[in-house]
């Protein structure tokens, strides 16, 4: 298990010893996201929007990357443009977080209901055919 000393946070990663067999299945199929429907019903989340990160990760990235906290001007979502484009799962490189931020900011600037529907369809396609980063 890889501990990132800069964030003081353990990210989920491939072959993570904390994940049980059932948990692995739930994560691989993204069924672990279903409880977030309650957050949507409570008005705390949206179906589409920037995916939230752990607070320690937000602190670190906001210090390193200008405009990082701008992704919080909208409600977080179960899925987002970054995830639909394949940037989900563990953040392994600076490029991973930069791409997520770029897609999140693009989404915020170009939001529309039609764009949300496109992202939902892209997410479904990603879940069915390209789920390599779900672990």
**84: confidence class by pLDDT, cuts 50, 70, 90:** very high
Print the domain residue range for 13: 3-129
Whether residue 134 lies inside any domain: the answer is no
Q: Is residue 84 part of a domain?
A: yes
Q: Which helix (H) or strand (E) holds 101?
A: helix 94-109
- Answer yes or no: is 79 within a domain: yes
Integer Rg of the chain from CA: 15
Q: How far apart are CA 120 and CA 49, in angstroms?
A: 11
* Total domains present in the chain: 1
**88 inside domain:** yes
pLDDT(59) > 80? yes
Q: How confident is the model at residue 92 (pLDDT cuts 50, 70, 90)?
A: confident
Q: Which residue has the higher pLDDT, 29 or 3?
A: 29
Backbone angles phi, psi at 58, to 5 degrees: -60, -45
Distance of CA 98 to the CA centre of its chain: 13
For position 120, what pLDDT does the model report?
A: 96
The answer to whether residue 52 sits within a structural domain is: yes
Q: Report, as an integer, the average pLDDT of 10-27.
A: 77
């Amino acid at each position: 298990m890889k501990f990132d000393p800069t964030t003081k946070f353990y990210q989920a990663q491939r072959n993570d010893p904390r994940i049980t067999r059932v948990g692995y299945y739930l994560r691989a199929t993204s069924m672990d996201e279903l409880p977030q429907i309650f957050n949507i019903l409570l008005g705390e989340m949206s179906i589409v929007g920037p995916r939230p990160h752990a607070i320690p990760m937000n602190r670190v990235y906001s210090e390193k990357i200008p405009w990082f906290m701008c992704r919080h001007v909208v409600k977080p979502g179960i899925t987002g443009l970054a995830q639909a484009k394949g940037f989900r799962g563990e953040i392994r490189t600076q490029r991973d977080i930069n791409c997520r931020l770029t897609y999140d900011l693009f989404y915020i600037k170009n939001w529309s209901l039609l764009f949300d529907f496109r992202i939902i369809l892209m997410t479904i396609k990603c879940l069915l055919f390209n789920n390599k980063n779900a672990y």
